[in-house]
Structure 1
């Protein structure tokens, strides 16, 4: 009987700053048999980022980067990405803006998840803006990162209906659920073409 050959998984790096719920979710998807990726590196700009506990739990190489000097920080990151043979970078609640130079080096290889239906509501406080403007829908978007904030080519989007009596907290919770479904899907989708 022939042994089935395991698919070679692409090395992915995840950049986080906070609780890491999308990071944890991506890890869980990466462990599925038919997953096309493996998370080989997590980078955080905060040593106290809660998401780092998942790196420890799943034995993923982690690096906390001091962003006081952005050029130094990015040089360290680039060296690490090369050493780990990273194919793709996933931003998951990473609260630092990457330099244009960094983005150019990894053009088409950095993706981000944003909690709104881009191009609407770029930046922060998206759910408050959605409620304030009485939108009928909100959602989340996975997009490529370019040098303009939340403006790269859209990979996938998921829409949710805004319900009567919704608060920004309620919307945030429902959108996060959708993010957890959407991000792995988008990741698998683009890895096919990388």
Structure 2
């Protein structure tokens, strides 16, 4: 696939574990004229992930790996990605931590979206932790993936005001809306578009 500007689109895989709402927004973005990426592969560690339905809907290849044996799963995955000429990976609610070895193979070419304003609230249960600490703001961050959890170079962030009425669920929904806008913007920024 060639961009209207004459650049080849970057063959991208999206890794998911759940509903795939960020995957859906990335697929929509990838079909726009401006997009530097084309989504060629979906990977999940969860065979029941609702997001896998988008593979069928958008005719994208998919692979489910259970990661019970991490090394085996990652080696299997690396050969699949190589075979499909995947050049970039977008993590979108992928609930497994990739090994240093895997990350090294895609150095600087793995992005992740995290539902907090990093470096605050790395890891899981971010919304509950933010509320417990009575923060006034939370948000989301797109960053490069390195060997340390949620510690890679930040590409873009979006701040979200927390209201007194917010619960873990309402805050998660509010932030998710922003995630869908932020991820495509961050990809454009990575490619200086």
**TM-score by structure 1 length?**
0.94
d(CA) in 1 for partners of 2:111 and 2:66? Answer: 22
SS in 1 for 2:179: helix
d(CA) in 1 for partners of 2:70 and 2:180? Answer: 30
Counterpart in the other structure of 2:44? 44
The alignment status of 1:150 with 2:150, answered yes or no, reads: yes
Counterpart in the other structure of 1:112? 112
Aligned length: 190
SS in 1 for 2:188: helix
Residues 25-60 of structure 1 show CA distances to partners (whole Å, capped at 9, x for unaligned) of: 100111112211100011011111100000110000
SS in 2 for 1:140: strand
d(CA) in 2 for partners of 1:40 and 1:83? Answer: 12
d(CA) in 2 for partners of 1:136 and 1:46? Answer: 34
SS in 1 for 2:77: helix
d(CA) in 1 for partners of 2:79 and 2:191? Answer: 22
Q: CA RMSD in A?
A: 1.4
Residues 113-162 of structure 1 show CA distances to partners (whole Å, capped at 9, x for unaligned) of: 00000000011111111111110100000011111111111000000111
Counterpart in the other structure of 1:135? 135
SS in 2 for 1:182: helix
**Which ranges in structure 1 are unaligned for 5 or more consecutive residues?**
none
**Which ranges in structure 2 are unaligned for 5 or more consecutive residues?**
none
